[in-house]
Amino acid sequence: MRLAMWSGPRNLSTAMMYAFGNRVDTAIVDEPYYGAYLHHSGVEHPMNAEVLSSLPHEPEAISAYVTGPVPDGLKIWYQKQLTHHMLPQFSLDWVVQQENVFLIREPARVIASYERKRETLALEDLGFLQQKRIYDYCVALGQSPIVLDSDDILADPPAMLAALCAELGIAFDPEMLSWTAGPRAEDGVWAAHWYDAVHRSTGFGAAPGPVPTVGHEFVEVLKQAQKIYQQFKVLKLGV
């Protein structure tokens, strides 16, 4: 099984990657399109040069890789995919060969987390528009993608991960609920900038508290992101 987990940034995506990385039957790849996104968009991110030098730049080659055999003869290939990395000119034809799961999060939480790492942000940086485009593409292919809400996972990790595994037709492994603190071999080179919080963790965090208030400069971005989030919210997996 090739499992593409689609999310925007700051969306529990690394914790979910670590959870699956604790399974003995699962291979991991961390944001394989990141280098292609930076190269073709011209966007500047922290550790830009390091990311560009660590990953391929051509989407066709990446698509061929992620639809290839599961590494090391394992059963599952967990592919952490950030939706905004899929630029409009990148073909999505390859997603028909994957099990596609969409990880959503309350936009105010995303914005509050993201603005701590970057001083400016636009709606396109958060991945909501791209997530909806990719989801709709999967549906048009005849798929029924799974939608997970990060708040639900944090509220009850065992129940939500068990429900996800049941939907995927794989056994739930309790090892998914905790991990050793610190960097992991599957981390992308950018982990030194972005993954400090998850590197301090040994499992999923506490249940989410009140929704934060975002700065006035992000109110319009929040409004637009909320429209998309609400469309996804009615589709999410429950327990």
- Within a domain: 202: yes
Q: Which residues contact 35 (CB under 8 A, 6 or more apart)?
A: 51, 52, 54, 55, 56, 57
Domain count, the chain: 1
Beta partners for 82? 7
For 88-110, b where at least 16 C-beta lie within 10 A, e where not — what string? eebebebbeebbbbbbbbbbbbb
Range of the domain at 22: 2-233
3-state secondary structure (DSSP) of residue 2: strand
**Domain annotation covers residue 98:** yes
pLDDT digits (tens, 9 = 90+) for 56-84: 999 999 999 999 999 999 999 999 999 99
Instruction: Confirm whether 239 is domain-assigned.
Output: no
Is position 238 within any domain? no
pLDDT at 118: 61
DSSP 176: G
Vertex 67: Cα angle to 203 and 96 (nearest 5):
95
Residue 19 located in a structural domain: yes
192 falls within a domain: yes
Strand partners, 2: 77
pLDDT at 117: 63
- Please provide the average confidence, as pLDDT, over all residues in the chain: 95
Name which of 32, 36, 30, 25 is nearest 71 in CA terms. 25
Q: CATH number of the domain that 148 lies in?
A: 3.40.50.300
Structure token pair of residue 45: 């991110």
Strand partners, 125: none
pLDDT digits (tens, 9 = 90+) for 177-207: 999 999 999 999 999 999 999 999 999 989 9
Q: Which residues of the chain have pLDDT under 70?
A: 117-119
Q: Confirm if 77 and 100 have CB atoms less than 8 A apart.
A: no
Which pTM does this prediction carry?
A: 0.95
Is residue 47, in this structure, part of any structural domain at all? yes
Residue 25 within any structural domain of the chain: yes
